[in-house]
Amino acid sequence: MASDARNMTGERITDGAPRPAPDPHGRVPPRTFTGPQAFTDPQHFAEPQAFAAPQSSESPQSSASPQAFTGAQAFTAPRTFGDPKRPGLSFAAPDPDGESGVPYAAPAHVPLTDASGPREGTTRLTAHGCWYPSADPAGKQVAFICDRGGVPQLWAGPVDGGEVRLLDAGPDPVREVSWSPDGRWIAYTTAPGGGEHSRVLCVRPDGTDRRILAGAEPGTTAYLGCWAHDGSAVAVTVAVPAGPPPDAAVQAPAAAGGPGSGLPPGWSGRGGDAVLLGPAPLTTTEPRTSPPAEGAAPAETRHPSIAPLLAPTAGFGDGLSAYLIDPDGAAAPVLLATERDAATLRVCDLSPDGRLALLRRGPRGRREAVVVRTTDLATTCVVPVADGDPWIGRFSPRADTLWLRSDAQREFAALITARLDDEGRPHAWSAAVEREGAELELLAFADDGHTAALAWNVRGASETEIVDLAPSGTLVGGVGAPHPVPLPHEVVTRIVGAGRGRLLLALSGSQRRPGVWWLSSGVELLRTPWSSRDEDAVLPGRPPVRPVPVDVTARDGLTLHGWYYRAPGRGPGEPAPCVIHLHGGPEEQERPVFNPLYHEILGRGLDIFAPDVRGSSGHGRSFVDADLGRGRFAALDDVADCAAHAVLAGPADPARLAVMGRSYGGYLTFASLVRHPELFRTGVAVCGMSDFATFFEGTEPWIAQSAAHKYGHPERDSELLRALSPMTRIDALRVPVLAVHGEYDTNVPPRESEQFVRAARERGRTAELLTLRNEGHDFLRADNRRLFRRAAADWLQRHLVDRPASG
């Protein structure tokens, strides 16, 4: 399950009709689209809709048209928001004394002590990564995320040289960064304790005046949106769970073993960085959220294979509200939109005059761009948009044009555009830039709003180009000829404007750690001096392995793609133990980027084949949708077909195969071990689901939104989900398995790994569980990542290399 997606059943709707049904092999006919088509028929897109706030029958808005905003946001006493010294922004705000219907209070500022530096106390990693850059208005200073101190932290420094400074030395990993357009603030998100809930903070560029803007309340989560163009406000989405807040014991560690101890039920204490269960059976009287510490006294010897289930709730999702927040605290937060039982809601852009807001909402596979007028909060436009990067588009400087990265009416996402009238309604949608067989993955704009950078996903690698928007001699919504930007490495992960005529690009590649490059003029990219050098990617002596692209034909004829890594020192035809590694998502994609885990495994003499089974992104919408419903059985067969290809067309040893994956890949690992029990000698499942019933019971509500669309509804599709669940076939398990989980994972709760390990041991199989402290769904701390890599590689080496082939 992807962790970074705020993403129910039903077909994807794009033009008022359901998508074509899969054929008997699970293949979905592609949506046809040829040439730059002008979307003049409004039925191509959804009708404007109010956000899903419940409406009372007594509401004066009850008979409003679809474009009228209803329910919680029908405010009767608006007031203005913004800095009177910087006119141009005027937003409607709720009456604090009225019955707004908002499910919870607006976030309040929480001042914090200065946490910048001291620099001399930071552990510097030579082979560090830098990513997620955001520049000041002049484009001379850059705020970015860097793990040189062992955990992703907020740093800033000059783009072309000079010393960088640590702006927040706290232990909480940083996830997103955004420098205000007026240069006065840097907003960023952190994950307290390394878990899945996040909060939004801001700090001055010199590291002073640090404060929490949203997410400080227990049980809430906050997400960062865009800035107002004058810097007077930043958009923030706040999520409040539909159920009770998380256990305070996990949120606030105290004395071991007692209330507020930070220890999961049944733990008497803990030490070091992890708990590694040995071969002794795990015993319990009721479901645990994490394994007991070594030496803890067992309770009754009762081993429920599947824990009792709670009744599923009627609806999924958090209550989401998007606010505009003044970081100075001079004005009250302004509510832009509210959704109940929602998957995602992010403010992606505000027009320079403040009249319009562009929001992104919906679960994965059914994302939508929504244009809202800020004066009356009426929805003027709803357009399907692509999954992936959340920054989906932007208004033109005069707010007369909207640019979007969208896959509406097409197989691959493209740049589409439409004229906007004075009320914010679109006219004459058309495709401005598209590529056959390639996905528009990133869309970014220079600060002047007249230049766009496009990054295309071409079979996993990136191709980048610059285009002029509406150049002289073209119509509004037209673009100039593209100018390619040669890339020194394979994949672009982020592009942002950096002052006049400058762009910043975050790059990754198979031969280096993530870094930041800047494009000052022309098309030449220069590495920022604080990004690590290519030669520092690994210790001297064994360079990274460059993977080879591979195509696989599945048993039903569908073409799969992947990357094969050959262990160094082996001859071309020498059989090698091989690990089939499966990414998460399912809609993630295997990319040719340096992976320290792969480097560790390759160093033990094992090959790696990392495929994109059906459901992965980057290969078209039909490929993404090919695993929906019963198509997931075909995805499970894809794993076996990829393993067979590695043997028949490559150097993999059929007697020494392993399967491994994280998140959804962890689910595929569990499922492959029980569906193809004679194919693999062992497996390593990381943060994987083992039973869909318990997964839906325990996951985040917004994850359940996406999961119901991808896997099936826990009530309506319960029989399908049971058949797809690895726990249902646990008796077929024949080989040893290692499960790894973060103790604070709320996307895929640790219980998913625990119950599989417990059931495997009950059946006499070798099974161990490694639980990493202070980690959630993603392992972000350098020491934990190192521990995980070595534990996984040790396990694979022990079962694939050290044991004889006949064992």
Chain segment 409-427, per-residue pLDDT in tens: 899 999 999 999 999 999 8
Contact predicate 14/384, CB 8 Å = yes
Model pLDDT, residue 446:
87
Chain segment 657-668, per-residue pLDDT in tens: 999 999 999 999
Residue type, 455: A
Mean pLDDT across the chain: 78
Give residue 340's pLDDT band: very low, low, confident or very high (50, 70, 90): confident
Average pLDDT over residues 121-138: 78
Which of 788, 702, 801 is CA-nearest to residue 240?
702
Pairing of strands 652-662, 503-509: unpaired
If you search the block for the tokens 């569990």, which residue do you land on? 670
Model pLDDT, residue 114:
66
> Residue 679: which residues within 8 A CB-CB, separation 6 or more?
640, 643, 657, 672
**The pair of three-digit structure tokens given for residue 139, joined into one six-digit string:** 């484009």
**The pair of three-digit structure tokens given for residue 103, joined into one six-digit string:** 């499910």
Model pLDDT, residue 447:
81
Chain segment 614-633, per-residue pLDDT in tens: 999 999 999 999 999 999 99
Provide the angle, in degrees to the nearest 10, between the axes of the packed helices 631-648 and 664-675: 80
**Distance (Å, rounded) from C-alpha 709 to C-alpha 729?**
24
- Rg of the Cα trace of the chain? 26
DSSP code string of 659-711 = EEEETHHHHHHHHHHHHSTTT-SEEEEES--S-HHHHHHHS-HHHHHHHHHHT
Model pLDDT, residue 107:
80
Model pLDDT, residue 621:
92
Give residue 428's pLDDT band: very low, low, confident or very high (50, 70, 90): confident
**Distance (Å, rounded) from C-alpha 502 to C-alpha 309?**
55
Pairing of strands 356-361, 368-373: antiparallel
**Distance (Å, rounded) from C-alpha 590 to C-alpha 600?**
18
**Distance (Å, rounded) from C-alpha 554 to C-alpha 645?**
9
Model pLDDT, residue 272:
39
Chain segment 42-82, per-residue pLDDT in tens: 334 444 444 433 333 333 333 333 232 222 232 222 333 33
Chain segment 633-676, per-residue pLDDT in tens: 999 999 999 999 999 987 899 999 999 999 999 999 999 999 99
Which of 197, 146, 67, 133 is CA-nearest to residue 700?
197
Provide the angle, in degrees to the nearest 10, between the axes of the packed helices 782-797 and 596-603: 30
Total number of residues shown for the chain: 807
Contact predicate 1/584, CB 8 Å = yes
**The pair of three-digit structure tokens given for residue 215, joined into one six-digit string:** 């997410």
Contact predicate 157/163, CB 8 Å = yes
Query: Is 356 a residue whose pLDDT tops 50?
Result: yes
Give residue 536's pLDDT band: very low, low, confident or very high (50, 70, 90): confident
CA atoms within 13 A on the CB side of 36: 13
Q: Sheet harboring 439-445: ordered strands across?
A: 439-445, 451-458, 461-468, 483-485
User: Is residue 123 exposed (0-12), middle (13-18) or buried (19+ Cβ within 10 Å)?
Assistant: exposed
State pTM to two decimals.
Answer: 0.79
Residue type, 770: L
Query: Is 490 a residue whose pLDDT tops 60?
Result: yes
**Distance (Å, rounded) from C-alpha 157 to C-alpha 152?**
16
Helix, coil or strand: residue 84: coil
Which of 44, 7, 11, 3 is CA-nearest to residue 431?
44
Average pLDDT over residues 290-312: 29
Average pLDDT over residues 480-486: 89
Model pLDDT, residue 213:
96
Average pLDDT over residues 546-574: 93
Q: How far apart are the first and last CA of the chain?
A: 34
Query: Is 104 a residue whose pLDDT tops 60?
Result: no
Phi-psi region of 84 (alpha: psi -120 to 50; beta: other; left: phi over 0): alpha
Chain segment 247-263, per-residue pLDDT in tens: 433 333 333 333 333 43
47 vs 562, which has greater pLDDT?
A: 562
Contact predicate 364/2, CB 8 Å = yes
Query: Is 801 a residue whose pLDDT tops 50?
Result: yes
Give residue 522's pLDDT band: very low, low, confident or very high (50, 70, 90): low
Query: Is 21 a residue whose pLDDT tops 70?
Result: no
Model pLDDT, residue 117:
56
Model pLDDT, residue 136:
95
Cis peptide before 586 (omega within 30 of 0): yes
Listed range (272-286, 469-483, 505-519, 622-636) with the worst mean pLDDT: 272-286
